[in-house]
Amino acid sequence: MHSINYGLEDKVFVVTGGSRGIGFEIARCLLEQKARVVICGRKQDGLDQAAEKLAAGKNLLPLAAHIAKSEAVDILFDQTLQRFGQLDGLINNVGMNIISAVVDADPGMWCKIIDSNLNGTFLCSRKAGQILREQQKGKIVNISSIAAQRSAPAMGIYGVAKAGIEMLTKVMAQELAPFNVQVNAVAPCMVRTTFSEPFWSDKTLHAAIVNTIPLGRIAEPIDIAHPTLFLCSTGSDFMTGQTLNVDGGASAI
Ligand SMILES: NC(=O)c1ccc[n+]([C@@H]2O[C@H](COP(=O)([O-])OP(=O)(O)OC[C@H]3O[C@@H](n4cnc5c(N)ncnc54)[C@H](OP(=O)(O)O)[C@@H]3O)[C@@H](O)[C@H]2O)c1
C-alpha cells in the first residue's frame, strides 16, 4: 500500500463496521495514507481493540453506533464534524447474514438482515449525502457482494439486501451527481474474515469456492481495501453509480 499514493492526506472518512475484517483494513489503509478516520461498530470492546491495533492517535475516532438506528447515525456524523470539522467520504461497510433459506426464514430474521445491510446503508448515506451535497464534493462507497447479482444458497435475504444497496448506489449517484458527489460500490467474492469463516474454514467448501474463482484463491481484506481507496480518490472522479466486482474473476465466468 505504501507504493500507491491515493492523495487522501488529511481527508476525513467514516468507515462503518471498522472494528474488524474488511472495514478494519480499509480504515488501516486510509490511516496509512494519512487520512483521518472514524470507525463504528456496535461493541465498544471491538472498537477499543481496533483502536489499539491501529495506534493512530488523534487521527482515529472510534465510536459505538448501531447503523440501523437513525438517532445513533445522526450522532455518529455530528461527532465526526465536531472532531474533524469536515467530511470527505463515507464507506458503508457494515453487513451481516443469518444462514437460512428464504422460504424458511421468519419475518424477524428477514427484518434484521434488511435492517443491518440495507436500512443502515440508507441511514448513513442519507446523512453523509446531505453533508457532502452542501460541500459540493465527496465520495460514498458501498460494500456490496457478488451475492447481490447471483442467487447463493443460504444467503438469499442477504443477496436481496445487497441488490438493494446496488440500486441505492445508482439512485444516489444520480441524485448527488449535480453536487459533485460520486457514489459507487465494491462487490467482493468470499473474503477471509470472521463473517465468512464458516465457509472458508471448511476444507471441502473452501475448495469448491476457490474452484469458482479464476484467480484461484479467496480474497484477503487488502484486496478489497485497494479498490475502495481508489473510489475514495480523485482518480475515480468520472465514475459514479458503478459496482466494481472485486472477485478474482468469479463473475466473469
Ligand atoms: N467476508 C466476506 O466474504 C464478504 C464477501 C462479500 C461482501 N462482504 C461484505 O463486506 C462487508 C464487511 O464484511 P466483513 O467480512 O468484514 O464482516 P465482519 O468481519 O463480520 O465485520 C463486520 C463489522 O461490522 C460491524 N457491525 C455489524 N453490524 C453492525 C451494525 N448494525 N451497526 C454497526 N456496526 C455493525 C461489526 O462490529 P460489531 O459486531 O461490534 O457491531 C464489525 O466491525 C459487509 O458488508 C459484508 O456483507 C463480505
Checking if the pLDDT of 1 tops 80, the result is no
Mean pLDDT across 107-135 = 98
| pLDDT for res 188 | 98
Which grid coordinates belong to 148? 447481490
Distance from C-alpha of 129 to C-alpha of 185, rounded to nearest angstrom: 15
Q: For residue 218, name the pLDDT band (cuts at 50, 70, 90).
A: very high
Ligand 1 atom with minimal separation from the 115 CA: 31
Candidates 6, 13, 77, 158; catalytic one: 158
Gap from CA of 95 to ligand 1 centroid (Å): 4
Q: Is 43 in the pocket of ligand 1 (CB under 6 A)?
A: yes
CB 172 within 8 Å of CB 128? no
- From 15, 16, 42, the mutation candidate for ligand 1 (largest count of ligand atoms within 8 A of CB) is 42
Distance in Å from the first CA to the final CA of the chain: 29
Gap from CA of 66 to ligand 1 centroid (Å): 12
CATH number attached to the domain at 12-191+220-252 = 3.40.50.720
Q: Is 159 in the pocket of ligand 1 (CB under 6 A)?
A: no
- pLDDT tens for 12-62 read 999 999 999 999 999 999 999 999 999 999 999 999 999 999 999 999 999
Instruction: Name the 3-class secondary structure at 61.
Output: strand
Indicate the burial class of 128 (C-beta count within 10 angstroms; 0-12, 13-18, 19 or more). Answer: buried
State the chain's mean pLDDT as an integer.
97
Q: Which residue has the cell 443460504?
A: 154
Gap from CA of 21 to ligand 1 centroid (Å): 7
Q: For residue 180, name the pLDDT band (cuts at 50, 70, 90).
A: very high
Helix, strand, coil percentages in the chain from 3-state DSSP, rounded to 5 = 50, 15, 30
Q: Is 190 in the pocket of ligand 1 (CB under 6 A)?
A: yes
Mean pLDDT across 150-158 = 93
Q: Is 44 in the pocket of ligand 1 (CB under 6 A)?
A: no
Checking if the pLDDT of 94 tops 80, the result is yes
Give catalytic status of residue 6 as yes or no.
no
Q: Is 95 in the pocket of ligand 1 (CB under 6 A)?
A: yes
| pLDDT for res 2 | 55
- pLDDT tens for 65-81 read 999 999 999 999 999 99
The C-alpha angle with vertex 180 and arms to 84 and 14, in degrees rounded to 5, equals 30
| pLDDT for res 213 | 98
Q: Is 40 in the pocket of ligand 1 (CB under 6 A)?
A: yes
- What would the DSSP string read from start to end of 132-191? HHHHT-EEEEEE--GGGTS--TTBHHHHHHHHHHHHHHHHHHHHHGGGTEEEEEEEES-B
Ligand 1 atom with minimal separation from the 23 CA: 16
Left (φ > 0), alpha (ψ -120 to 50) or beta: where does 57 sit?
left
Q: For residue 153, name the pLDDT band (cuts at 50, 70, 90).
A: confident
Mean pLDDT across 202-227 = 97
Percent of the chain with pLDDT over 70: 99
68-78 burial: b if 16+ Cβ within 10 Å, else e: bbbebbeebbe
The full set of domain ranges for the chain reads: 12-191+220-252
